[in-house]
């Protein structure tokens, strides 16, 4: 069964281009190691009238947006193998969290079993 890593993070709008560059580089590496799909989405229509809107949930400032992303794998076992290899990859080994174009302290992520796919 497919497995998905999901992420929600906060990016300053002025750093969105830098984030896109980092995401493109990340996508290439994850796909190189076998991920089936890698998707990054920037918030566009976030002020919904039902549920908890992303701006309120993430305490977004007017200068920030939410980024929602996911990586799809064949299975959780494959995800674990890929992520272990990526953490050892020299392209990621020396990354400093403080130099990231997003707020690392306001990021959340998790692994998800696919329930429905069409």
Domain spans of the chain? 3-113
Asked if 12 and 63 touch (Cβ cutoff 8 Å), the reply is yes
Per-residue pLDDT band for 44 (boundaries 50, 70, 90) equals very high
pTM of the model: 0.91
CA-nearest of 13, 115, 7 to 64 is 13
Q: Is the pLDDT of residue 98 over 90?
A: no
pLDDT the model gives residue 30: 97
Contacts of 31 (CB under 8 A, 6+ apart): 38
- pLDDT tens digits, one per residue of 22-32: 999 999 999 99
Q: Is the pLDDT of residue 18 over 90?
A: yes
CATH of domain 3-113: 3.30.70.100
Mean pLDDT of 72-89: 95
The enclosing H or E element of 39 equals strand 37-42
């Amino acid at each position: 069964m497919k497995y998905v890593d999901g992420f929600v993070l906060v990016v300053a709008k002025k750093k969105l281009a830098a984030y896109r560059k980092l995401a493109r580089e990340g996508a290439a590496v994850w796909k190189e190691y076998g991920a089936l799909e890698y998707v990054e989405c920037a918030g566009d229509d976030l002020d919904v009238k039902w549920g908890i809107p992303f701006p309120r949930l993430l305490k977004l400032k007017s200068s920030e947006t939410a980024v929602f992303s996911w990586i799809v794998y064949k299975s959780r076992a494959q995800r674990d193998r890929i992520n272990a290899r990526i953490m050892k990859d020299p392209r990621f080994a020396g990354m400093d969290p403080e130099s990231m174009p997003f707020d690392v302290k306001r990021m959340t992520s998790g692994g998800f079993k696919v329930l429905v796919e069409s």
